[in-house]
Amino acid sequence: MVEKLQKATWFKGRRGPVVLVIMDGVGYGKFEEGDAVRSGLTPTLDWFHANCPNTALKAHGTAVGLPSDEDMGNSEVGHNAIGSGRVFAQGAKLVNRSIDSGQMFAGETWKNLVANCVANQSALHFLGLFSDGNVHSHIDHLKAMIERAKAEGVAKVRVHILLDGRDVGETSALEYVDPFEAFLAGLNGPGFDARIASGGGRMNITMDRYQANWDMVKRGWATHVQAEGRQFPSARAAVETLRKETGAIDQDLDAFVIAADGQPVGRMEDGDSVVFFNFRGDRSIEITAAFEEDEFPHFDRGRRPAVMYAGMMEYDGDLHVPKRYLVTPPAIDRTLSEYVCATGLRSLAISETQKYGHVTYFFNGNKSGYIDKSLETYIEIPSDILPFEQRPWMKGAEITDEVLKAVASGKYHFIRLNFPNGDMVGHTGVYAAAQIAVETVDLCLARIKKAVDAAGGVMVISADHGNADDMYEHEKKTGAVKIEDGKKKVKTAHSLNPVPCIVYDPEGQGEYARELVAGLGISSLAATCLNLLGYEAPGDYDPSVLAPVN
């Protein structure tokens, strides 16, 4: 339990609510060409920048707990940082430490997985996102586990690859497949057989989140577990053929099964062990449920092999999902939401399905459910199930409608919302759609501004990471857009760019300097919001962007 917040002496708060707007995937671009935020028509954002205190916040790398500043931020760690007010070592860093120290392999879960395979002379399966994007997984973690499995006597390894094209280049799959096949060939020999067994695009199979599209998980289950689907002699053949036939980028490629002499090489059987090697939780929970839950209403699993299943990390600390995991996730405590509840303040969290879990679960330190249901309201607007470039406005209007009602109601002290458009549409790589996505958010900001004016509230506008601000690949030395096959090379991954922090305070009395504190990260948003609510932030929270005048 946390203690009530102490009232600030320098700031009494406003008569209306503090509204935290998270423009997911909207950063400050480094390059003019390829910046859909800069090229979009955004009169509201432009007005805020010209008339309100604002600064840039770091939203990637060490500023959000990742191993290095070469690591792009993501929505999970971004919302963790915003909601916790501090920086915790995150997924990739924790797994790196666990592997380097040997702690992973000394743990009970790893020992049991290996012992199960050795005792049953069965296969150890690895399933996960196949890249070095370092957002959901890293291929180096996979390689380290395969090497260790061989050293500990596992004879058969099968790898089920989810192609990325989202946190890495959109058509980079073979840049990972070919070296990995060579890596396996170097390990294979008498007494050890490791192969790629199945695969498909991450936005086509397996990696759904927030129960938005269980058919994705159903397709993944059929592919990885049952080995049902179109067969190919190799992963390279599958990628080349499917790409030629459909024109799809990696994240959207159809499922495939690797076969030899007409027989799948990696069907999961009774007595096998399975590791889902993604460390990030949101796109891991549904496939985990398919493996672990006895009562499972989402689709007919058919044959359900008796396997020993484990995740890379614990994906939900409250529900203890999965039952077995290799690396303990960060223990995030004393979140902004906990302090707000302890102080008796009423709050609202809202987004559409694609980011609902981010303004609730991740914002609350990887904890499911309410902290205090009597003080909190959570609203999920169901997302459309279709490619985001086809409807780039997403549910911006519907989210805004609910926010306007909440602001006008006078019920809430603190409102937090996420507009997913800049991120989800940015990931498609469709530049025109990304512009519309950003323009949609701008229209929504204009509506919220009017409501905040009427209520006498404050609006804090920021983001969890960049994306739509960097839609093309650029040459490192010159900054020129990369050209591939005569076309500009599209970038679908997050950017390494800073994000906005704008404070719109229409009834401000000059209590803080118009020049916001520079050089901070998005973890400082928590202290900022608490200050604007009229309270001092906890002493160990990262500093607020507000500098008191007196």
What pLDDT, on a 0 to 100 scale, did the predictor assign at position 181?
A: 98
Cis peptide before 67 (omega within 30 of 0): no
What pLDDT, on a 0 to 100 scale, did the predictor assign at position 317?
A: 63
- Sequence-distant (6+) residues with CB within 8 A of 152 are 105, 114, 118
Catalytic residue among 75, 131, 172, 273: 75
Q: Which CATH superfamily is domain 92-327 in?
A: BPG-independent phosphoglycerate mutase, domain B (3.40.1450.10)
Residues of the chain with CATH 3.40.720.10: 18-87+331-532
| Structure-block tokens of residue 27 | 């950063």
Please list the residues that pair with 232 across neighbouring strands.
258
Contact, 126 vs 158, CB < 8 A? yes
Residues of the chain with CATH 3.40.1450.10: 92-327
CATH class of the domain at 18-87+331-532: alpha beta
What pLDDT, on a 0 to 100 scale, did the predictor assign at position 1?
A: 80
What pLDDT, on a 0 to 100 scale, did the predictor assign at position 280?
A: 87
In Å, how far from its chain's centre is CA 217?
A: 18
Q: What is the dihedral of CA 298, 304, 306, 310, to 10 degrees?
A: -40
| Structure-block tokens of residue 536 | 């001092």
Our answer to whether residue 75 is catalytic in this structure is yes
- Sequence-distant (6+) residues with CB within 8 A of 4 are 342, 343, 344
What pLDDT, on a 0 to 100 scale, did the predictor assign at position 331?
A: 85
pLDDT tens for each residue of the chain, 550 residues long = 899 999 999 999 999 999 999 999 999 999 999 999 999 999 999 999 999 999 999 999 999 998 888 888 889 899 999 999 999 988 888 999 999 999 999 999 999 999 999 999 999 999 999 999 998 999 999 999 999 999 999 999 999 999 999 899 999 999 999 999 999 999 999 999 999 999 999 999 999 987 889 999 999 999 999 999 999 999 999 999 999 999 999 999 999 999 999 999 999 999 999 999 999 888 999 999 999 999 999 999 999 999 999 999 988 765 788 999 999 878 899 999 999 999 999 999 999 999 999 999 999 998 889 999 999 999 999 999 999 999 999 999 999 999 999 999 999 999 999 999 999 999 999 999 999 999 999 999 999 999 999 999 999 999 999 999 999 999 988 999 999 889 999 998 889 999 999 999 999 999 999 999 999 999 999 999 999 999 999 999 999 999 999 7
